[in-house]
Structure 1
Amino acid sequence: MDSVRKSGCGNNANLEITQSTEEDPLVDGPLISQDALESAIKREFRKLPTHWAVGVISFLHVVYVVVCVLITVFCWLSDEHSAECTAALNGIDSKTLVLLGKVALWVIVFIYDQFIQHHHSALRRRGYLNFDRMTRGMKNLPFLIHSAGNAAMLTVIAPASLLDSLVRRLSVYLLLSIICLELLLSVICLLRYLVHVITFNNKRPRPDVTEEERYHSHSGNSHTETGFRDGSSLEDVVEKQADVIDYLKQHNSVLSRRILMLTGQEIRA
């Protein structure tokens, strides 16, 4: 009777071992070195390709302002070149041309803003949460500045006749001031953002979670504070935790595929 029980226990043990081996085929496989995994992860770094968009939008904005200044000087403020301006513009009113150019520029800035948002969402999914938060205000400001500029121009154009009756060509000076101020503020924000992007691409950092683990491993402190602390915003903490969880899910999926690929290479070798 005892021998039957022992044999039954032995069969169950063998069955459990067989099942666990079948469920986890990597148990008896070759171990993957940490250097191989780290080198595979390092190759995943992708530069943020938004610097060229900053250059394009800045160039177009400068061209628009230069055209507006030329139109203002030769068509609005000077009566000597009115016929020449009409011939050069093919009969189109100069104010209409300026407004149409402003609308076209706003559409381009809107496309630029969507392009930036798309790449920053991808960057956040790759684990670079701190950089996205650091540049959040800078990357959103150009679109807000152009939208505010449109509102200011409409505010000046609507009572243009009343303003010109108070001071001759006052609406023209106000429009030109708004356009130049808009350029100044937009270029400052774009240059600041461009510096951060170039620095980020040159540093080629690891994701925030990896950098934090590396920092604490070198400092000998394994405890990390990720909870709510005095002086911190609860919304920011919740948003950061949600981003970290989303990144870790994707990171684990990528790492699992890397492990399977490297394991297959080790087995074939």
Structure 2
Amino acid sequence: MESKGPPLYTPAGTLADLSRSQEEDPLVDEPLIPDYALHSAIRREFHTVPTACHAGLLSLLHVTFVVLSMCLAVLCVLKAGQEEVCAKILDKVQGESVIVFGKVCLWVLVVLFTGFAQHHHSRTRSRGYLQFYRQMQELKHLPLMVHSTGNVMLLIVLAAQLSPTVHTNMLLIIIGLELLAGFPCLIYYIVKVMQFNREKPAPDVSQEERSHNINITNLPTETGFREGSSLEEVVEKQADLIEYLKQHNSLLSKRLLNLTAQH
């Protein structure tokens, strides 16, 4: 006599029902998103740093200012036989005053350039280029430090009671030293920015992930504190990475939803 009890392998039936429910799900029937489409969707467009041209223009203005100042000092201040020409051009303004006013205007341009560079480098930092931001953090402020130091030296010279000849020579020495110290900084800054724009690298997170995939055993990670490293630097880097990954994940979620809706 056959017993009519419940079937023995009910879990198998449950798995079969689950597989059938998945097959009937319209989302599963949709084609999967190809890898190339996903990669192109999450890949960010590279934005260049537009400060190299401004740094080049500032360098040109700096050289022009120094050359004109030296010519003005030799011809009009040190009395090289061009008193009449200088009187017509400068009217009643003294040659040293023109040089000082020009130096102040140049310092203002350096301040504006530093703020402009800081703005664009901060945007580069928010896009995930943390290493480049730290490399340029001190370099972009060096011209301002040089010109500010020159202003302090100029104030000391103006406050000192020196003879007119010594006073003019000290002024020319100061602006010459500024050129020797500030011009190479701007040139090096231009080279680094142009190199970054030409290479168009991926964000630091993508570069580290690619490096770890190639050889994860030989390359050290940057997720912890190691002996010899600065704790403040590690904490700052981790905060930058977290901020960038939050923005990246938000953008990734939106584009994945758009791709899913399209397919």
Bucket of the pairwise TM-score, normalised by the shorter protein: 0.7 to 0.9
Q: Deviations over 1:112-162 (max 9, x none)?
A: 000000000000000000011112121110111111111111111111xx3
Measured after TM superposition, the shift of residue 29 of structure 1 is 5.6
SS in 2 for 1:163: coil
Number of residue-to-residue matches in the alignment: 244
Q: Deviations over 1:179-228 (max 9, x none)?
A: 01101111111111111111111111100011000001011449734211
CA contact (8 A) 2:73 2:96 kept: no
**Partner AA of 1:121 in structure 2:** S
Using a 3 Å threshold, how does the CA distance of structure 1 residues 146 and 37 change in structure 2: closer, same or farther? farther
TM-score (norm 1): 0.83
Q: Which residue of 2 aligns with 1:149?
A: 150
Structure 2 Cα separation of the partners of residues 206 and 27 of structure 1: 33
Using a 3 Å threshold, how does the CA distance of structure 1 residues 223 and 186 change in structure 2: closer, same or farther? closer
Measured after TM superposition, the shift of residue 43 of structure 1 is 4.5
Residue 209, structure 1, aligned to residue 205, structure 2: yes
Alignment of 1:179-218 (within 5 A): 179-218=175-214
Measured after TM superposition, the shift of residue 66 of structure 1 is 1.2
Structure 2 Cα separation of the partners of residues 90 and 234 of structure 1: 61
SS in 2 for 1:91: coil
Using a 3 Å threshold, how does the CA distance of structure 1 residues 28 and 62 change in structure 2: closer, same or farther? farther
Q: Give the RMSD, CA atoms, in angstroms.
A: 2.6
Of 246, 250, 258, the match for 1:249: 246
Alignment of 1:81-92 (within 5 A): 81-92=82-93
Percent identical among aligned pairs is 48
Structure 2 Cα separation of the partners of residues 26 and 118 of structure 1: 45
Structure 2 Cα separation of the partners of residues 171 and 28 of structure 1: 86
Structure 2 Cα separation of the partners of residues 223 and 56 of structure 1: 41
Residue 228, structure 1, aligned to residue 225, structure 2: yes
Using a 3 Å threshold, how does the CA distance of structure 1 residues 58 and 39 change in structure 2: closer, same or farther? same
Q: Which residue of 1 aligns with 2:62?
A: 61
Measured after TM superposition, the shift of residue 26 of structure 1 is 7.5
Structure 1 Cα separation of the partners of residues 177 and 43 of structure 2: 43
Q: Which residue of 2 aligns with 1:4?
A: none
CA contact (8 A) 2:70 2:172 kept: yes
Q: Which residue of 1 aligns with 2:159?
A: 158
Using a 3 Å threshold, how does the CA distance of structure 1 residues 170 and 191 change in structure 2: closer, same or farther? same
Structure 2 Cα separation of the partners of residues 188 and 27 of structure 1: 61
Structure 1 Cα separation of the partners of residues 194 and 80 of structure 2: 47
Using a 3 Å threshold, how does the CA distance of structure 1 residues 173 and 45 change in structure 2: closer, same or farther? same
Q: Which runs of 4+ in 1 moved over 6 A?
A: 25-28
The structure that has the greater radius of gyration is 2
Measured after TM superposition, the shift of residue 41 of structure 1 is 4.1
Structure 1 Cα separation of the partners of residues 42 and 67 of structure 2: 47
Structure 2 Cα separation of the partners of residues 57 and 216 of structure 1: 41
Using a 3 Å threshold, how does the CA distance of structure 1 residues 177 and 223 change in structure 2: closer, same or farther? closer
**Partner AA of 2:72 in structure 1:** I
Q: Which residue of 1 aligns with 2:259?
A: 262
TM-score (norm 2): 0.84
**Which runs of 5 or more structure 2 residues have no equivalent in the other structure?**
1-13
Using a 3 Å threshold, how does the CA distance of structure 1 residues 28 and 248 change in structure 2: closer, same or farther? farther
Q: Which moved more, 1:77-86 or 1:114-123?
A: 77-86
